[in-house]
Amino acid sequence: MLRTTAAVVAGKAARAASRLRGGGSALPGLVAERIDPGFLAHALADVPGGIVVVTGTNGKTTTTKMLVAVLRAHGRRVFSNPTGSNFTRGVISSMLGELPVRGRLRADMAVLELDEAHALKFAAAVQPTHALLLNVARDQLDRFAEIDHTAKLLASLAEQTTVGVVLNLDDSFVSRIRDRVADGVAVHYFGVDASIADRLPELQEQDVRFDDDFVAPVAGPDDGLLRPVDERTFEVVFGLGAADGVSESAPDRRNVGPLELQQRGLAAMINATAAAATARMLLGDAFDPEAAAEALRAVTPPFGRGEVVVVDGQPLELVLVKNPAGFTVALGTYGSTPVATMIAINDNYADGRDVSWLYDVSFESLRTRGVTITSGVRGYDMALRLQYDDVPVAEVQTELDPALDAFLAQHPDEPKRIFCTYTAMMALRRTLAARYDLPDIGEEAS
């Protein structure tokens, strides 16, 4: 207890010092962990309603924010790491802001976004009660190698989960994890209705090379399926495909919706479906579809995930990209209407050093307007990649702030969009926050 108290005091001091320097970091978590190696287990020991880990390649931050919003709409006190600080030390750094000196978190539940590898480091310290496993795609090839390895990381997490697991019905790498779950642990699914299944290839890489006799699961009465109402509106349906089936045309009090989200695109709708299915598993009979729908409608895009910043009266959209599937979805969702475009690509550790994945993305949709500026550490690499797709690039400026200044100056009276990798997004977002009095993005993630 004394060691934990000392860790809290030292961590809070490091956190305050980090904020005085202009931003957060994983340093407070490192300080607390050095003093008390069992800090995570001690801090979460009194959380009665479950420790939920959200992980996968794409959509972690958005889905976590949606799940937390739904749970809070049901009156639950939820701790989360809302800034996307998805390494274990980043989780501790986020936690330090809410911990009393005794070091025990006061919350009904903890919902934590974790990087695929760090989810296992977290599970080594605190066994999760629930896990939401989103998808598997190529991302940060230098860290995770190919997608088979990422799938193994998620399967290992599922094996260590004690109460319930929610799996992506439409991702073969994820749905087959059901066979790795321990006896007695509930397995639920989220996915899309058959009417839009043909749109999935734009979201997920179905590079599946299995030679076993695995039989794909079918949605049951407790599983959530995304069903479109129109181009922008959808509902989450529970019961489709179940043995006791629910008519596709009949309303059902278990359904969540109709919904129109503040974040655009099919990927955001699937994230909302995952969040609704997980909340239903966590809350059981207390789950209120109307409360869930109201909460999901109110969720704003997390910073950099389609966030719109008003700059001198014009919208500037920040769009995070980090792998082929994600960039392809971003171009389809946000790039369908040509606007002034900048692309910022870094290759720092949190981005992934290997940017060869850019050659698996088609940039043909950018030909009409071209790209005003490519920037970041790999600004020239991005310009070369665009050249192969006959996308004109007016300028390369590797320094982010000068590139942003030039981009804004060249398009003062029209909407603008920046596609950016993680560390480029963080840097640009901090610059914009300082200039335009935006809300603090919180602690830096990895």
Instruction: Indicate the domain borders of the chain.
Output: 2-298, 305-436
Is a pLDDT exceeding 70 seen at residue 20?
no
DSSP codes joined into one string, 382-420: HHHHHHHTT--EEEEE-SHHHHHHHHHHH-TTS-EEEEE
**Which distant-in-sequence residues (6+ apart) come within 8 Å of 289 by Cβ?**
253, 254, 255, 256
3-class DSSP assignment, residue 356: helix
Least confident range of 50-54, 73-77, 135-139, 174-178: 135-139
Tell me the percentage of the chain whose pLDDT exceeds 70: 83
DSSP codes joined into one string, 229-264: SSSS-EEEEESTTSTT---TTS--TT-EEEE--SS-
Res 85: pLDDT: 62
3-class DSSP assignment, residue 120: helix
Res 295: pLDDT: 96
Res 13: pLDDT: 73
Res 326: pLDDT: 78
Q: Which of 354, 390, 405, 440 is catalytic?
A: 354
Res 251: pLDDT: 46
- The token pair at 370 is 């071209």
Res 215: pLDDT: 74
3-class DSSP assignment, residue 107: coil
305-436 has CATH 3.90.190.20 classification: yes
Res 133: pLDDT: 96
In 6-81, which ranges are E strands? 51-55, 78-80
Strand order in the sheet with 256-259: 78-80, 109-113, 51-55, 130-133, 164-168, 186-192, 224-228, 234-238, 256-259
Res 279: pLDDT: 96
Segment 1-19, tens digit of pLDDT: 677 787 777 767 776 666 6
Closest listed residue to residue 407, CA positions, set 398, 418, 420:
418
Closest listed residue to residue 83, CA positions, set 166, 15, 180, 10:
15
171 catalytic residue (yes or no): no
Question: Which segment, 105-119, 196-210, 268-282, is predicted with the most confidence on average?
Answer: 268-282
Pairwise CA distance, residues 92 & 99, whole Å: 10
3-class DSSP assignment, residue 23: coil
* Residues 388 and 366: beta-carbon distance below 8 Å: no
Angle at 63 between CA 305 and CA 226, to 5 degrees: 105
Pairwise CA distance, residues 166 & 171, whole Å: 12
Res 97: pLDDT: 76
Strand order in the sheet with 416-420: 305-311, 314-320, 416-420, 340-344, 371-375, 393-397
Mean pLDDT of the chain: 82
pTM: 0.77
Pairwise CA distance, residues 55 & 176, whole Å: 16
- Superfamily covering domain 2-298: Mur-like, catalytic domain (3.40.1190.10)
Is a pLDDT exceeding 80 seen at residue 442?
no
Work out the burial of residue 369: count CB atoms within 10 Å of its CB; fewer than 13 is exposed, 13-18 middle, 19 or more buried. Answer: middle
Segment 121-148, tens digit of pLDDT: 889 989 999 999 998 875 544 444 567 7
Q: Fold match between 2-298 and 305-436?
A: no
- In a 13 Å sphere around the CA of 194, the CA atoms on its Cβ side amount to 5
Least confident range of 141-150, 171-180, 429-438: 141-150
Q: What are phi and psi of 375, to 5 degrees?
A: -145, -175
3-class DSSP assignment, residue 75: coil
Question: Which segment, 142-156, 193-207, 334-348, 363-377, is predicted with the most confidence on average?
Answer: 363-377
